[in-house]
Amino acid sequence: MAILDREITFVDKTRVHCDGAGEIRGGAGYRPAALGHPRVFLEIDERGYVDCGYCDRRFVLRGGPASD
């Protein structure tokens, strides 16, 4: 995946979680683990963002140094 194609999610808290299926939702038989990856908890640091090690999704803190 190219850096320009990276999925970016803007958040309001420094502690976030990712399961790789954040935007994939189904009906009654919805099973997030089957659609993504194991849930991981991440902490945004002084750079203002953190990248998921599984799916490369970037979480950016709104109002932080990386939100421009």
Q: Which two tokens stand for residue 27?
A: 């009906």
So what's the pLDDT on residue 21?
A: 77
| Candidates 3.40.50.12280, 2.60.260.40, 3.40.1280.10, 2.60.40.10; CATH matching 3-61 | 2.60.260.40
Stated pTM of the model: 0.76
Sign of CA pseudo-dihedral 32, 35, 41, 43: negative
So what's the pLDDT on residue 40?
A: 95
Using the predicted structure, report yes or no on whether residue 68 has a pLDDT greater than 90: no
So what's the pLDDT on residue 59?
A: 95
What are the domain boundaries of the chain?
3-61
| Partner residues linked to 17 by β-bridges | 41
The whole-angstrom separation of Cα 67 and Cα 58 is: 11
Q: Which two tokens stand for residue 63?
A: 């109002």
